[in-house]
Structure 1
Amino acid sequence: MAQHESDQPTVYATVRADSTGVLDVDGVKHDVTGTDDANVRSQILNQVTGRARIHGRPVLLVTDDELGQGRLHVHPNGKVEAVGEFVYSDHGTTPAQTVTEPAPASAQPPRLPLTPSRVAVEPIVTSERRTARASFLVQETPQEPASTGWRGLLSRAGIHVAPSAEEMAERADVHLVSQHWAGPRTISMANGKGGANKTPTTALLAGVFARYGGSGVLAWDNNETRGTLGWRTEQGGHDSTVQDLLPQTERLLSPGAQSSDLAHYVHHQTGDKYDVLRSNPIALSADQKITRAEFTSLHRVASKYFRLVFVDSGNDESAQRWQQMIDQTHQLVIATTALGEHAEAGALLLEALAQRDERSAQLAANAVVIVSQSEKTGNGAQAIADGFTGLARRAVTIPYDDALHSGKIRYDALNRATQRAWLAAAAAVAEGL
C-alpha cells in the first residue's frame, strides 16, 4: 500500500548562502555548518539517512535554499529519490541572461532527462533525386546533469537530474568568460570620482576571466595619483612598477624578446592567475606622468604578451595617459558604489564621452556599469543600476562583502553570492568583446 506524505516522517532543511543550514526535526532546530554549501547538504543528508534508519522507513526531506524548494525521499540504505518538481525561487542572484531549461525528451530513458541531440539534415542536390540522410557530424553536445544544489547532490549519488534554470544561467556566464577572442582586447575601468571601486572592479574582473579563460590576463594600474592596485594584490619577487617597464618597451617589442622576460616587471597572482602591472603609490604624481606616446608603447607591450588587458584608471580625466587609454579601449566599464556622488560622476562621464567623438560615443553606449554595494546596511545598488538605463548597455549589481573592504583582493575569499555576481558582471563585459 502506498504511503501518504501525511503519514511519513518529515524533516525540513534550509541551506543558506553562507555555508550554514538548519535542520528541523519534529520542531527542534539543529544548526549545520560546513566548508561550503555542498558540504552542508552532505551533512544534512547523512543526518536524515540516520533518521530513516531509526524509523525503519523512508523520510521525506523538504528542502529550501536560494534556488528554490524541493522534496526528496531518503531511504534507510542511503538511497535518495526526487519527489515531484523543484519549485524555483524568484530571489537570489539575477542571472546575466535568461536561459530556458529544456524539457526532458520522451525518447530518452526516464533516469536521463537530457535534451536529445538534434541532427542537421541537408538535401543533396544532384542530377538524380536522392534520399536525404542525417549528417554524422553536426550534433549537439548532450546536456550535463546538475552539479550544484540538491540536484547536484542527487547527480553525484547516481540519479541523473537536469540542471536548474539558475545553474543553466551560470553555465552560460562561464561559457562567455571562457572564450578567447581573435586579437587582444582592452577593458578600462573609469570614474572621475575617487573611491568609486575602480581598483576592486579591475582585480576581480581580471581574476574571473583568468580563472575561467586561462592565462594571458593583465591588470594595469594606469594611475599617476597614488594608485593602490599594487597594495590590494600580491607582490612578486621584485618591486617593479610601470616606471621600470617603460624604458624596456623597445627591447620587449623586439623579435628576440620572450614572454618570460616580462616577469621582471609584472606581479603574478598565484590564486587568481592574472598578472599586475603596478604604479608607484609613494612617488608624487609629477614624477610619474606618462605621455600619450609612452602609454602607446606600454600598451603595445601589454597587447603583445596578454590577450586581455584590464586598465585601472586614475581620476584625472585630463591626463594624457587617461585620454590615450580611452582611445585604446574596446570595452568601457563604469565602476561605482551605491553612493549618489559616485554614480553621478559615472553618469557625467558617459554623457561627456557621448559628446567627445564618434568612437567615444560608441564606447559610452556599449559601456557596462558595475554598482557595488559598499555599505553593509545599504540596499541602494539596484536603484542606482536602474538609473543608468539609457546611458549604458548593461548595469549589474554586486552585494556587500567584507572581503572587499581591506587587504588583498582574492576571489576565493568572497561569499558564494558575491562570486556569482562578479561572474555575471564579467559575462556582461564579455558580451561586448
Structure 2
Amino acid sequence: MTDIAITITPDASGTITIGGATAPVTGKTIEQTREEAMQQAVTHARQTGEPAEVTADDPTGTFYLTVTPDGGILNRPSPTDPGTAGWEQEPALTGHDDPGAPQVAFDEQGRDRRPSAPQRREPIPHNVEDLNVPPAGQPAPADPEPAPAAPLDEAANVPELSELVGAGGIEVTTDLSTTPDPLETDPRWIKISQQPAEDGWRGTLNGWGLKITPTEDELAQRREALRQEITREEQERLEAEQHAQEEAVQESRRAAREREAAAKDRTERALIQTSFEEPKNVLIANDKGGQGKTSACYCIGATAGRIRGGDVVSWDANETRGNLGFRAKKAPTARSVVDLLEQAAEDFTTVEGSKRSTLARFTRSQGDNLFAVLASDESRDRQDLVDAEAFEKVYEILGRFYSLILIDTGNNHRVSHFTAALAATDQLVVPVSAGADGAYAAETMMDTFESLGYGDLVKNAVVLLNDSATRRGDATGIATKFEQRVRAIIPIPFDPALDSGEEIDFDALQPATRAAYQEATATIAQGLADTKENQA
C-alpha cells in the first residue's frame, strides 16, 4: 500500500508526495486544490490497482483517508489515536463513484450511528483456563434454567371505570389534522436534504471527497432557508397575480377609453362632414384683442379642411390690418381681399369670369390642411376700402366656391363691414382668454348683439375658453358666466406652437390641442346642421 501526503497552505497552493516524489498542486481556492490533489491520489490508486493511505494537511486540520482503485475515498482513524485500538475499521464511505454505497452517519459526539456500527473486539485469552473448558470425560455444565415468570394478574392492572370517567364523562379527542408539511413533499427539499454536509468538520471531510450526511441542525437550517424561499416565491407569485389583475383592470379601462375616444372621433368627423345646401358663415368675434380669434379661425379651418377634404375658406375681415395672413402659410404673392376687389370683382359678374382659378390668384392655399386663406391688406388705408357693400360682394364670391366660410373679425363691431358680417352669420364663435377682461368684453359684445336682435346667435354661440401660460384667470368662474347664456363652452389647452405668434404649423400642435379644435369644429357643425334642419 502506497503512502500519499498532501499539504495545502492558506494561499491555496499545495504539494502531493507519492512514493517519495513531490509535485506541486495548485488551485484558485483551497477547495479546488483539494479536489485536484485527491484526483491525483485516486488516479495513482487506479494505476497501481492497490489502495493508498492519504495523510492530508490543510488550514482546517489533518485528515487520514484511504483511496481505493475503484475511486472510493474512505475515512480511516488516526494512527496516533489510542481510542481506535482493537476496533474493526470500516470505511467511512465506500464507492466514491457508486451512489448506492453506504454513507457514514455520525452523531454530535462523532460516534458512528449506523446499524452495523463497528464493535470493539474482545481480547484473545492467552491461557487455556481462561477458556473455561471442562476436564476430559465430564459433560459441559448446562446453562442455568431461567426462573419462572410471575403470573400476570391482568385484572389487577385494569383501572376502574370511575378512574377514567370524569364528571363530564369520557372525552376522547383524536387529532386528525395530519396534513403533511408541504415542504417535505417539495422536490427541492428531497434533493437538498440528501446533499452532503457543508458545515463543521463534516463539511471539511466532504471537501476531501467524502459524503457525510449533515447534522439535524444543518438540516433544520436548510429547511428554514427553503421555507423562506418558498414564502418569498409565494409572495412574489401573489404580487405578480395582483399586478396582473391591476394591469388587466387598467388595460380594460384603457381599452374602454380608447373605444370611447374612437366613438367620439367618429361622431365628430361625421358632424364635420355634414353637407350644406348653401354656404355657411361662421363669425369669430370678441371686441378685445389677444383673445385667440386668429388662432381659432386658422385651426378650425385646418380641422374642417382636413376632415371635409377642402371646401373651406378663412377670411380675415379685420377693419384694419389683420393678422391671419401673417400666421398662415405664405403664398408666392401677397395678394389680399383688396386686390380681389380691385382686380377681379368685375370678372365674377359674368359666367365666363366666375372661375375658381381666378379666385385662387387671391387666396393662399394651406397645403395639407386643405383650406384657403383670404388675407386682409397689409396697408391700413387700403383695408378701409372694405365696407359693408364690399363685404357683401366678397362674401357672394366666396359662397360660389366654398360651403364653409370662417370670418376672423377685428375689435370694433360698430364698423359697417362687421355689421354686414353679423347679418350674414349662421354660427357665432367667441374666443375668450383666461383673463377677466376678455370675458367682460365678450359679455358686453353679446349684450350688444342681443339689443340688435341677434339673441338667437348668442344663444347658439360656442365659447372657446383658451388657457394661457402667463394669465391664470378663474376659468371656472368665466365658464359660469356663459354656461346659461350660450350653447357650448369648449376648453382649449395652452399650446406653445400657438403662443409663439409665428406661422401656425397645425401638425406641430399637441394632440390635446388638435382634439379640442376637432370637438369645437364638430360643435360648430352641429349648430349649422340644426340651423339647416330648422330652415327646412
- What is the rounded CA distance, in whole Å, between the counterparts of 2:306 and 2:246 in structure 1? 35
Which residue of 2 is the match for residue 46 of structure 1?
none
**Among 401, 404, 412, which residue is 2:495 paired with?**
401
Which residue of 2 is the match for residue 420 of structure 1?
515
- What is the rounded CA distance, in whole Å, between the counterparts of 2:236 and 2:524 in structure 1? 50
Q: Would you say the 8 A contact 1:386–1:395 is kept in 2?
A: no
- What is the rounded CA distance, in whole Å, between the counterparts of 1:400 and 1:286 in structure 2? 35
SS class of match (2:297): helix
TM-score (normalizing by structure 2):
0.51
Q: CA deviation at 1:174?
A: 1.8
- What is the rounded CA distance, in whole Å, between the counterparts of 1:419 and 1:249 in structure 2? 36
**Structure 1 position 317 matched with structure 2 position 413:** yes
- What is the rounded CA distance, in whole Å, between the counterparts of 1:330 and 1:393 in structure 2? 14
Q: Would you say the 8 A contact 1:385–1:396 is kept in 2?
A: no
Which residue of 2 is the match for residue 7 of structure 1?
237
**What are the residue-to-residue correspondences of 1:331-350 with 2, within 5 Å?**
331-350=427-446
Which residue of 1 is the match for residue 459 of structure 2?
365
SS class of match (1:321): helix
Residue segments in structure 1 that go unaligned for 5+ positions in a row: 13-58, 64-68, 73-85, 88-149, 152-160
Change (3 A) 1:168 1:287: closer
- What is the rounded CA distance, in whole Å, between the counterparts of 1:272 and 1:10 in structure 2? 48
Alpha-carbon displacement from aligned partner over 1:368-427 (angstroms, at most 9, x marks no partner): 111111225736434322320222111111011101112112321111111111111111
Change (3 A) 1:391 1:163: same
Which residue of 2 is the match for residue 242 of structure 1?
337
**Structure 1 position 271 matched with structure 2 position 368:** yes
Give the aligned residue type for 1:232: R
**What are the residue-to-residue correspondences of 1:114-153 with 2, within 5 Å?**
151=255
**What are the residue-to-residue correspondences of 1:28-39 with 2, within 5 Å?**
none
Q: CA deviation at 1:354?
A: 0.9
Q: Would you say the 8 A contact 1:265–1:277 is kept in 2?
A: yes
Change (3 A) 1:228 1:162: closer
**Structure 1 position 216 matched with structure 2 position 311:** yes
SS class of match (1:238): coil
Change (3 A) 1:165 1:236: same
- What is the rounded CA distance, in whole Å, between the counterparts of 1:363 and 1:396 in structure 2? 17
Change (3 A) 1:229 1:355: same
Which residue of 2 is the match for residue 258 of structure 1?
355
**Among 386, 394, 397, which residue is 1:301 paired with?**
397
Query: CA RMSD, aligned part only?
Result: 2.6
Alpha-carbon displacement from aligned partner over 1:104-155 (angstroms, at most 9, x marks no partner): xxxxxxxxxxxxxxxxxxxxxxxxxxxxxxxxxxxxxxxxxxxxxx64xxxx
SS class of match (2:373): strand
TM-score (normalizing by structure 1):
0.63
- What is the rounded CA distance, in whole Å, between the counterparts of 1:71 and 1:335 in structure 2? 36
SS class of match (1:231): helix
Q: Would you say the 8 A contact 1:364–1:392 is kept in 2?
A: yes
Change (3 A) 1:234 1:8: farther
- What is the rounded CA distance, in whole Å, between the counterparts of 2:336 and 2:420 in structure 1? 19
Which residue of 2 is the match for residue 20 of structure 1?
none
Q: Would you say the 8 A contact 1:5–1:60 is kept in 2?
A: no
Q: Would you say the 8 A contact 1:224–1:314 is kept in 2?
A: yes
**Among 276, 281, 295, which residue is 1:181 paired with?**
276
Give the aligned residue type for 1:267: R
- What is the rounded CA distance, in whole Å, between the counterparts of 2:289 and 2:471 in structure 1? 22
SS class of match (2:335): coil
Give the aligned residue type for 2:457: L
Q: CA deviation at 1:202?
A: 0.5
Q: Would you say the 8 A contact 1:210–1:217 is kept in 2?
A: yes
Q: Say which one has the larger Rg.
A: 2
Q: CA deviation at 1:284?
A: 2.4
Considering fraction of residues, name the structure with more strand.
Answer: 1
**Among 317, 329, 354, which residue is 2:450 paired with?**
354
Count how many residue pairs are aligned between Structure 1 and Structure 2: 293
Which residue of 2 is the match for residue 42 of structure 1?
none
SS class of match (1:388): helix
Which residue of 1 is the match for residue 289 of structure 2?
194
- What is the rounded CA distance, in whole Å, between the counterparts of 2:308 and 2:480 in structure 1? 30
Q: Would you say the 8 A contact 2:282–2:406 is kept in 1?
A: yes
**Among 220, 227, 240, which residue is 2:322 paired with?**
227
Q: Would you say the 8 A contact 1:373–1:397 is kept in 2?
A: yes
**Among 426, 441, 453, which residue is 1:330 paired with?**
426
Q: Would you say the 8 A contact 1:244–1:265 is kept in 2?
A: yes
Change (3 A) 1:238 1:168: same
SS class of match (1:164): helix
**Structure 1 position 386 matched with structure 2 position 480:** yes
Give the aligned residue type for 1:388: F
- What is the rounded CA distance, in whole Å, between the counterparts of 2:249 and 2:283 in structure 1? 43
Q: Would you say the 8 A contact 2:338–2:382 is kept in 1?
A: no
Alpha-carbon displacement from aligned partner over 1:199-258 (angstroms, at most 9, x marks no partner): 001001111111111111000000122210011011122110011001322312421122
Give the aligned residue type for 2:369: D
Q: CA deviation at 1:265?
A: 0.1
- What is the rounded CA distance, in whole Å, between the counterparts of 2:422 and 2:236 in structure 1? 65
Q: Would you say the 8 A contact 1:206–1:218 is kept in 2?
A: yes
Change (3 A) 1:263 1:378: same
Give the aligned residue type for 2:389: A
Alpha-carbon displacement from aligned partner over 1:239-296 (angstroms, at most 9, x marks no partner): 1001100132231242112212211100000131110000123x12475332211110
Q: Would you say the 8 A contact 1:337–1:372 is kept in 2?
A: yes
Q: Would you say the 8 A contact 1:267–1:275 is kept in 2?
A: yes
Change (3 A) 1:287 1:185: closer
SS class of match (1:237): coil
- What is the rounded CA distance, in whole Å, between the counterparts of 1:5 and 1:209 in structure 2? 55
Change (3 A) 1:377 1:351: closer
**Among 221, 244, 264, which residue is 1:169 paired with?**
264
- What is the rounded CA distance, in whole Å, between the counterparts of 2:468 and 2:375 in structure 1? 24
RCO higher in 1 or 2 (8 Å CA, sep ≥ 6)?
Answer: 1
- What is the rounded CA distance, in whole Å, between the counterparts of 1:6 and 1:403 in structure 2? 47
- What is the rounded CA distance, in whole Å, between the counterparts of 2:409 and 2:332 in structure 1? 25
- What is the rounded CA distance, in whole Å, between the counterparts of 1:412 and 1:426 in structure 2? 17
